[in-house]
């Protein structure tokens, strides 16, 4: 059994600018994003946390440091955001206007379609993120960890673990720096306890 606080990073300059797809771009947190992470700290400061992990991107790493009050944040490439290909830096409205068929293909079957036409498939994302959490399950048995990731990977992973078809992953909504809490049992089955708490 493993208990996990799963966060999405705080608001970034891309989130604030029409919710531009930020993917692998190392976009900075806004002042609001920093305040959101500070709010999580106030809620978690009494909890026993055994380890803290984040994506290597600064928006996730800084959120993890602030939200846990820890400088001992371990980064892992497997929980970096989705490679959004040609959608990077654009709003959904902008890239759909440029190339609606790529978005339609992604929405129809994100498991096999490449995000942005040249980015990652949903299956590739699930493979790396699931490998990360399986390792955490072995490494931190009966412990509590904090993981700070991103909107795309967090939603795809949760949809997958909850038995949803990946094309429905957008039905799982995760707010910036909101607390999601779940447990993985010894077989890796996920029980979602809190979403956007």
9 is catalytic: yes
Please give the model's pTM, rounded to 2 decimal places: 0.97
Contact 12, 22 (CB under 8 A): yes
42 is catalytic: no
* Cα 170 to the center of its chain, rounded Å: 13
Tell me the pairing of strands 73-75 and 51-54: parallel
Q: Please tell me the predicted confidence (pLDDT) of residue 148.
A: 98
Q: Please tell me the predicted confidence (pLDDT) of residue 123.
A: 98
Residue showing tokens 């992973």 = 157
Domains, the chain, with CATH or none: 2-194 (3.40.50.1240)
Query: Among 9, 61, 140, 150, which one carries the catalytic annotation?
Result: 9
Query: Among 81, 88, 111, 120, which one carries the catalytic annotation?
Result: 81
Tell me which DSSP letter residue 114 carries: B
d(CA 36, CA 177): 6
Q: Please tell me the predicted confidence (pLDDT) of residue 91.
A: 96
d(CA 58, CA 61): 5
Per-residue pLDDT of the chain (197 residues; tens, 9 = 90+): 999 999 999 999 999 999 999 999 999 999 999 999 999 999 999 999 999 999 999 999 999 999 999 999 999 999 999 999 999 999 999 999 999 999 999 999 999 999 999 999 999 999 999 999 999 999 999 999 999 999 999 999 999 999 999 999 999 999 999 999 999 999 999 999 999 99
């Amino acid at each position: 059994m493993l208990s996990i606080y799963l966060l999405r990073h705080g608001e970034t300059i891309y989130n604030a600018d029409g919710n531009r797809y930020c993917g692998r771009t190392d976009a900075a947190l806004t002042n609001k994003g920093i305040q959101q992470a500070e709010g999580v700290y106030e809620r978690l400061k009494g909890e026993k946390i055994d380890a803290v992990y984040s994506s290597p991107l600064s928006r996730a790493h800084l959120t993890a440091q602030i939200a846990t009050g820890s400088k001992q944040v371990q980064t892992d490439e497997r929980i970096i955001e989705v490679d959004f290909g040609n959608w990077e830096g654009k709003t959904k409205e902008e890239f759909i206007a440029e190339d609606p068929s790529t978005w339609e293909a992604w929405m129809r079957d994100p498991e096999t379609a490449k995000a942005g036409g040249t980015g990652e498939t949903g299956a590739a994302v699930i493979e790396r993120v699931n490998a990360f959490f399986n390792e955490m399950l072995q490494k931190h048995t009966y412990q509590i960890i904090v993981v700070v990731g991103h909107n795309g990977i967090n939603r795809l992973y949760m949809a997958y673990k909850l038995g949803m078809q990946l094309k429905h992953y957008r039905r799982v909504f995760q707010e910036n720096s909101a607390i999601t809490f779940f447990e993985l049992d010894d077989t890796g089955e996920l029980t979602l306890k809190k979403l956007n708490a």
